Amino acid sequence: MTTVGIDAVEIWTGNLKLDLPGTFAPQKGEDPEKYTKGLGLNASSFPDSYEDIVTMGANAAHRLMERKGLEPDDVGRIDVATESAFDNSKPVSTYVAGCLEQVYEGDFHHANKGERKFACIAGTQSLDDAYNWIRAGRNRGRGAIVIATDTALYARGDAGEATQGAGAVAMYIAEDPDLVELSPEQGYGSADETDFLKPNQQFPSVDGKRSVQVYLARMREALQDFETVAGDVHPDDIAFIPFHTPFPGMVRKAGLLGYRYITRDTAIEEELAAEIGRQPREEAFDTEDDYHEALREYTDALKETDRYQQWYAETIDPTLTISREVGNWYTGSVHIARISAMKHALENGRDLTGETLLVGSYGSGAQAEIHAETVCECWDEEIEALNADEQLAARYDMSWEDYEEVHDAHNHEMDVDVEEFTTPEEEFVFDGWGRMGERKYRYVE
């Protein structure tokens, strides 16, 4: 069977940065460690006034095409996943194709274009669509560009304001990929939930505390469902688990519950029993409340064990490095977690070839999906080619006054005109409005 997966990946961060402990915390009258230790974030990436979901997506895709030597004729599909769209009819992928056609000889008239929406999980769903299209043999030898792009901003004063971010991930999905091969097995946890939504508004309505519980519940269902098709997951078989990362503190919770779940009925549970006892079994309790209380106590004890902490440090923590510096990229977030982990392996001289990643995606509203990926032989060349560190270091560090000025320029309901803080170079920029209210873009040399 032909292998299908992610051949290459590129990121594009918003060109501005908000320092959370240094700039945000003092204005909120909060301890900086709430951000660095509690939420696990140092900074948010932020779009300059000439940036939006199209520019960031097109810039990431352009880098991807240039690096892989792709021409429009190699691309049979362009899908954009976003929850920050500005048009209910014309998809963002048409704007991205329009941008790319400014810098390539050929065009994308032959390419199927679409836009995927299911909160943050839409990036992974677009990946699945591309995978299925190739596996169905409808791709005529071409690959798909999948772009996850968002301006993940919250209303001023919302608890989510600390977790903002903006950026895009572009991926090329193809046969015989260089980066990772996707598993055909998937597990889902999906339910009608009201935790985070944007009813025709750009800044979300969020029930933050509930959203955390919904994330964990759906992720657990997805893992259970995955095991029914792929067999039991064992911690020793997995190199990294990139989770959707709205903020690293969320993944700290997911990692702990995931470990408890996958070590149940294993030798690891037995080995830990001398220290913290065996995991509570529901049948041993008179009431559900007593069982849940016992589970909580076990989980608290598990978190303190050396065995768990070592597993977390090796398997989960490396997925969070980029997220700590950029915040939430919504649809792109799980995909930067993958990059983060692989970058960590490269920097530490670890050969990942043939190893397994377990990828946990999530979208509010709500749905989680788990699938596995096998790392391909040329993964190191792909990861080495990224310039993530340079992009992050080049961002303009906003003062509080800058932040107050630019924040609402990215709310579609408000017409806020703000001077740019940075000078665009070799990138697509927003260039004003057309006669039908469409957005215009140009490439700056």
Q: Measured from the CB of residue 269, what is the shortest distance to ligand CAA in angstroms?
A: 24
Place of tokens 């908000």: 18
- Answer whether 170's CB lies under 8 Å from 60's CB: yes
Q: Measured from the CB of residue 222, what is the shortest distance to ligand CAA in angstroms?
A: 13
Structural tokens at position 302: 């598990």
Query: Which residue of the set 62, 99, 120, 376 is catalytic?
Result: 120
Query: Which residue of the set 244, 335, 344, 371 is catalytic?
Result: 244
Q: Measured from the CB of residue 21, what is the shortest distance to ligand CAA in angstroms?
A: 10
Cβ closest to ligand CAA, residue 134 vs residue 326: 326
Query: Which residue of the set 51, 83, 115, 373 is catalytic?
Result: 83
| Torsion, Cα of 305, 306, 307, 313 (10° steps) | 110
Cβ closest to ligand CAA, residue 114 vs residue 208: 208
Structural tokens at position 360: 């946990």
Q: Measured from the CB of residue 306, what is the shortest distance to ligand CAA in angstroms?
A: 20
Q: What angle do CA 353, 359, 364 make, to 5 degrees?
A: 160
* 25, 45, 162, 238, 275 from 252: Cα distances, Å: 22, 21, 17, 17, 22
Distance CA 125, CA 170 (A): 14
83 tagged catalytic = yes
Q: Measured from the CB of residue 153, what is the shortest distance to ligand CAA in angstroms?
A: 11
Structural tokens at position 66: 């240039």
Rounded CA Rg of the chain: 22
Q: Measured from the CB of residue 36, what is the shortest distance to ligand CAA in angstroms?
A: 8
378 tagged catalytic = no
Helix axes 306-315, 248-263, angle to 10 degrees: 120
Burial of 352 (0-12, 13-18, 19+ CB in 10 A): buried
- Interface residues with ligand CAA (CB under 6 A) are 31, 33-34, 37-39, 120, 159-160, 162-163, 196, 206, 208-209, 211-212, 215, 244, 246-247, 249-250, 328, 330, 362, 364
Cβ closest to ligand CAA, residue 51 vs residue 193: 193
Cβ closest to ligand CAA, residue 126 vs residue 364: 364
Q: Measured from the CB of residue 97, what is the shortest distance to ligand CAA in angstroms?
A: 27
* 6, 271, 413 from 376: Cα distances, Å: 9, 33, 45
244 tagged catalytic = yes
- Answer whether 43's CB lies under 8 Å from 398's CB: no
Q: Measured from the CB of residue 63, what is the shortest distance to ligand CAA in angstroms?
A: 25
The residue at minimum Cβ distance from ligand CAA is 38
Q: Which of 332, 170, 166 is nearest to 244 (CA)?
A: 332
Tell me whether strands 439-444 and 427-433 are parallel, antiparallel or unpaired: antiparallel
Cβ closest to ligand CAA, residue 203 vs residue 215: 215
Cβ closest to ligand CAA, residue 29 vs residue 349: 29
Cβ closest to ligand CAA, residue 22 vs residue 208: 208
Q: Measured from the CB of residue 226, what is the shortest distance to ligand CAA in angstroms?
A: 19
44 beta partners = 18
Cβ closest to ligand CAA, residue 108 vs residue 215: 215
Cβ closest to ligand CAA, residue 63 vs residue 218: 218
Catalytic positions, written as ranges: 83, 120, 244
